A and B are shown apart, each in its own frame.
Chain A
Amino acid sequence: MYDVIIIGGGIVGCALARELSRYNLRLALLEKEVEVGFGTSKTNSGIIHAGHHSPPDTLKGQFEWSGNQQWADLAQELKFGFKQIGELLIAHKHEDLQYLEDLKKQGDARGVTGLEIWGQKRIRKEEPNLSHTILKALHAPTAAVINPYEACFGLIECARQNGLELFCNHPVLSIKKGKNNFSLETPQKNFTTRIILNAAGLFADCIAAMVEANNFSISPRKGEEYLLDRRLQGIVTHLIFPPPSTTSKGVLIIPTVDGPIMVGPTAEDIDNREDLSTSYSGADKVFAAVLKSCPSISERDTITEFAGLRAVSENNDFIIELSPVINFYNIVGIQSPGLTAAPAIAIYVTEILRDNGLSLVRKQIWKANIDGPPHFAAMSPEEREAAIGEDPAYSRIVCRCELVTEAEVLYAIKHGARTLDGVKFRVRAGMGRCQGGFCTTRIMDLLAQESGVPLTEITKRGSGSEICIPRHDIIPIEDHR
């Protein structure tokens, strides 16, 4: 029997996993997708918010600043990219100026450091490519960018080396409440545990409903994002925020941690929790909004687009509490600034567990650091020469757009990548301007070789998304007639 089972391997589940792995607990995480971070987290904008956006009387407001302050250390310990580039919240209209003032006051009161309102001269100097109609901007130097999936991979790898058991491809089908425990059914096997932490994101209400702990509901809010060619890299150097709308922080210009600019997201309430489609209207909204603040960004520079679904609770705030069912905790409705808040949420949940009587004894040995993945593109010529000297797999380029070597792909596979997307999100192979035209078959070869399966079993992101079919598996003759 497990002490704690976390349901859901998004950023919240992964942060919980690492935090709880500090203690002497038998701990497991069940994820329905083939790898962690493959749900909402993968499509997140990747922004560590500066800490001043959410009102103080909300859980969002309680955790965004404390979460913000943990990311620099996390990135160092877990070896993922982190750039504290700061954000600019811009105002085009006089009626928005008061909003900037109010937000600055809110941040100052919380202790968010460095907030400053810039006039046109300063904006022009720091961001010459922004629209000249911008009147003022609130600069928040504490905002940063990361790749959310890298954070998930890092957190979970750290948790695993400290004893967490990870079960991907294990969707929870039912939960039965016993006297002192829960039993969970998945297609592969059943689990029993004393405590359940429900971090199932978009499906958190479905999971909670299995034990009638669903005193809330979750609805999907879609966001479309558009990634632009490296040609535009550097066109802005800060995160650019417009004044927010009622449903979101608006359409942003995001200098991603890898360099390329991304624009988005939209915010559209929808019904279908699996609708990850992009649309003409979404693109129109994004580029219309972006052009207003940065006129030289063109939709013709798009290299790819994708959509994600935020898990929105009915009061628009996080829900982090013991459910009506004892030992079943809901950590749900974690939308923006959920990524920022996740490490703080994990600590908070740990405190609730302790307050509710869970005995938390720190492990004598707990490793905070993981060995990061190698990154050939970032090496100096001397480092490259040394790496190739040690392992010739560094001398073969698998992805030319992002300069990824075979050694890095093999490392990713060794550390959990099972799919084309899994490799892509770990090493960037396939994310560049050719969008996998060159590397797809090479990565498929390596995945097949390392896992000893034929090419036809390699998937994009799990069963049902096979990339190719066997040659003899053709259409039956009758279909042709």
Chain B
Amino acid sequence: MKNQLQKNYAVVIIGGGPAGLAAALGAREAGAEHVLIIDREVETGGILNQCIHSGFGLHYFKEELTGPEYAERFSQQVLSSKIELLTDSYVLNITPDLKLEVISRNHGYLNLQAKAVVLAMGCRERTRGAIRTPGFRPAGVMTAGLAQKMVNMKGVLPGRRVAILGSGDIGMIMARRLVLEGCQVVGVFELHPYSSGLSRNKVQCLDDFDIPLHLSTTVAFIHGRKRVEHLTIAPVTTQYVPNLNQSWDVKCDTLLFSIGLIPENELSARLRIKMDPSTGGPQVNSTMETSLPGVFACGNVLHVHDIVDFVSEESLRAGRFAAELALGMRRPGDNIALYPGENIASCVPHSLSSDREQIIYLRVKQPVKNATLSIGDRYEKKFKRLIPSEMVKLTLPPKILDHFFGERLRIEVSSGEAE
């Protein structure tokens, strides 16, 4: 792509994955003229391009799509919406007055100025080092996402006999993918007493393919000097300490890690944006604006989602709010701080405004049945089952905050039975 670039943009979006694409569309819809997406890959679509399985779009499009199909729908809309794309490019730095230092394969070294910036950089996978798995450091140890890229994008396999540590969604999807490729998946090992991914992935990827899921276990040692040869698997105590006396050996040549995702906030950290340790992403107000005025965040850079449909929805809104700011429109500021109480692992946004509809995303800490979710004395909702791996979306009508004169509301889950 070689086109004439502007120097000044209303909204610059960093990242052209599902979050960035939707944010750009949102910004255009809200009337921003010059909208630019910067992406480090040659093509937009982000991680969706390597997610060739189906299951995307059930909420957003009410139909089942593959990852590339889902991305394509947004990319087409972006292309027909007068949104500029700067692909194969990388943002080196942003200053607090929203100047961007960018390098680009086609345009060289660039300095750009934005009125609003949307952070949409997505997330990365946690690695072996994060959970300190002892043993050797051979070839054949990688994250599930890297294996997915090898199989789906590069046309090669990570190995023949594969074990997977962690039952995150990518791990379970790769378990099925590798079986379909003719590999043997010897088992998925999960530290927690429950699966870390979506229930549907456990059913469709593991159960349907007779791949064993071993709960409350971990890899206690990786053997093999050059290539993985075998693993020591150990059950863990309720405190997650491996019990080496009851360990057993599993022969395999590959170990994939699917142990969680971390929002990719290097740029945000450089901007000294206020972060939320419970999500690993920035703190945002009800317009998805971070602590630095003019900088918005959405998608997995803000908090890790399970399904892309929620990412798109959230990012459309972030894009709209960013455009409004760039156009000089001012909404009333937030007047209520929202903070997590009992059995809430995280919630986004971090504050609310009583003048409009509010959308809240949250996760529970522990799985519970027949739970009641409450927001102060203003809102209550019953849930049959809540699990940490499935994010909850709440849409709150503005009227629930009517005549509320406090400054903070506690969000919590109570009266549930532990699973």
Contacts and interface: CB of A to CB of B under 8 A. Distances in A.
Contact of B225 (A276, A283, A401): A276
A474 B160 contact: yes
Nearest to A282: B134
Contact of B226 (A385, A436, A465): A465
A401 B121 CA distance: 13
B108 interface: yes
A466 B226 CA distance: 8
Contact of A441 (B108, B153, B159, B160): B153
Given A395-B108, A441-B149, A474-B183, A469 B159 contact: yes
A474 B182 contact: yes
Interface string A434-446: 1111101100100
Contacts of B129: 227, 302-305, 435
A372 to B, nearest CB: 21
Interface residues of A, number: 58
A471 B181 contact: yes
B157 A389 contact: no
B266 A471 contact: no
B361 interface: no
Tell me if A's interface is mostly helix, strand, loop or mixed: mixed
Given A434-B124, A460-B138, A441 B154 contact: yes
B187 interface: no
Contact of A468 (B89, B104, B157): B157
Contacts of B103: 384, 388, 394-397
Interface in A329-352: none
Contacts of B242: 280
A473 interface: yes
A470 B145 contact: no
Nearest to A470: B156
A467 interface: yes
B108 A392 contact: yes
A274 interface: yes
Contact of B125 (A274, A304, A437, A468): A437
A469 B134 contact: no
A280 B157 contact: no
Interface string B88-116: 11101000000001011100110000000
A395 to B, nearest CB: 4
A389 B150 contact: no
B38 to A, nearest CB: 12
B124 to A, nearest CB: 5
Given A469-B157, A469-B159, A473-B157, A395 B139 contact: no
Nearest to B129: A304
Contacts of A438: 124
Given A468-B156, A480-B184, A280 B134 contact: yes
A37 B370 CA distance: 60
Given A400-B40, A466-B227, A471 B109 contact: no
B400 interface: no
Given A385-B109, A468-B150, A474 B181 contact: yes
B109 A389 contact: yes
Given A438-B124, A469-B159, A475-B160, A305 B132 contact: yes
A2 interface: no
B135 interface: yes
Interface string B117-154: 00000001101111010111111001101100111011
Contact of A436 (B40, B136, B146): B146
Contacts of B226: 460-465
A395 B105 contact: yes
Contacts of B28: none
A77 interface: no
Contacts of B227: 464-466
Given A400-B90, A469-B156, 16 more contacts: A274-B225, A276-B136, A282-B134, A283-B134, A303-B127, A303-B129, A304-B127, A381-B109, A392-B108, A394-B103, A395-B104, A433-B124, A434-B125, A441-B150, A461-B139, A461-B226
Instruction: Please provide the 5 A-B residue pairs with the shortest distance between their CB atoms, ordered closest to farther.
Output: A474-B182, A464-B226, A304-B129, A465-B139, A385-B109
Interface of B: 40, 88-90, 92, 101, 103-105, 108-109, 124-125, 127-130, 132, 134-139, 142-143, 145-146, 149-151, 153-161, 181-184, 220-223, 225-227, 242, 266
24 contacts: A276-B137, A279-B221, A280-B134, A283-B132, A302-B130, A303-B127, A305-B134, A306-B137, A388-B103, A395-B103, A396-B88, A397-B90, A400-B266, A437-B127, A460-B138, A461-B139, A465-B226, A467-B139, A469-B158, A469-B159, A473-B157, A474-B160, A474-B183, A475-B184
